[in-house]
Structures are given as structure tokens and as C-alpha cells.
Amino acid sequence: MSSVGRKIFIGILIFVGLMLAVWIGSAAYSGWQGYKWQKQTDAFQESLRRPYREDTYGGKTPEETWAMFLAALREGNVDLASKYFVVEKQEEWRGRLEVIIRDNLETALNNYSTFSVEKGIEDDKAYYYIKMPFDKSESGYIFSPVIFRFNLYSKIWKIAVL
């Protein structure tokens, strides 16, 4: 092989080697970016799960959670009573419970004490009703739903709707 042919051959090899290096580098960079994105996503998802994992306020059954909620309400402990609600509604209910305790705690306790099961448990939800006196209904009562949700992380029941 002549020296010119050899130079062309070496030039082609260098060019192919550079192209291969660029291709491998690009694939490695994309893989690294994907890895970093996945780590960030995992950390974000864990930050969303953490409050549910750390939530220990509730009972093994909806009835037990309800009893704990009423006990905290009777004591006037708004912070504790609000912790029996699902994590995302605790702040909202803290404010509502302050008003209930301030304005009409006895009426609320009387109404909430007539808790009765009208439907059962389905998957991670439990449907119950509170039978409350109400003058304008035909039977003299209205039924207010209470829906509980099961916290899969801490294995306790929480009040979702009241």
C-alpha cells in the first residue's frame, strides 16, 4: 500500500473512530440524563408519600377512628381531632373544627354520636352515615355521609368526607 493510500486509510479509521466516540458519548450522556431525571422523580414521589407513611392518627377500623375523633372533639383538642382526617384535608378541618368547638360543640357531638352504618366497606373506602335530627325532612332526620379512606402506608382508617 502506498503512503497516500495508507494516509487515506488511517484518516478513514480516525474519522470512523471519532464518529463512534461521539455516538457512544451521546448515548452515555442521554443515559446519564435519564438516570438523573429518574432519581429526581423518585425523590419527588417519596416526598409525596412521606406524610402518608408518617401518619399514625387513626384506628384499625373506621369505627375506631370515629371514636378517637369524637374523644378529641369532646376534649376540645382541635389539633388532635383534625389529624383523624386524610392528610390533604387536615388544615381545612382544623379551621372548621375550631368553629364547631367555639359555636356549637354540644350539638355537633350529639349529632355525630348517632353514627350508623348504612353501607359497608369497599376496597379502600368505607361509607357510613350520621343520622342527624332535622325538622324539615319527612322522617325528622337527615343522613349526612361520612366516608373513610384506608391509608395503605400506615394501615389506618382516616376520615375523608364529613
Whether residue 26 is found in the same domain as residue 102: no
Whether residue 44 is found in the same domain as residue 121: no
Nearest to 156 by CA among 123, 70, 118, 148: 148
121-133, pLDDT tens digit by residue?
A: 666 666 666 655 5
User: Structural domain tally of the chain?
Assistant: 2
Whether residue 33 is found in the same domain as residue 97: no
Whether residue 43 is found in the same domain as residue 120: no
Whether residue 17 is found in the same domain as residue 44: yes
Whether residue 32 is found in the same domain as residue 70: no
**Contact call for residues 76 and 101 (beta carbons, < 8 A):** yes
Whether residue 105 is found in the same domain as residue 129: yes
Helices (DSSP H) in the chain: which residue ranges?
Answer: 3-54, 62-75, 78-82, 90-112
Specify the pTM. 0.67
Whether residue 62 is found in the same domain as residue 48: no
Whether residue 86 is found in the same domain as residue 49: no
Domain containing residue 109: 57-161
Chain mean pLDDT for the chain:
82
Whether residue 61 is found in the same domain as residue 42: no
51-76, pLDDT tens digit by residue?
A: 888 899 999 888 899 889 989 988 88
24-59, pLDDT tens digit by residue?
A: 989 889 889 988 999 998 889 888 888 888 899 999
CATH number for the domain harbouring residue 131: 3.10.450.50
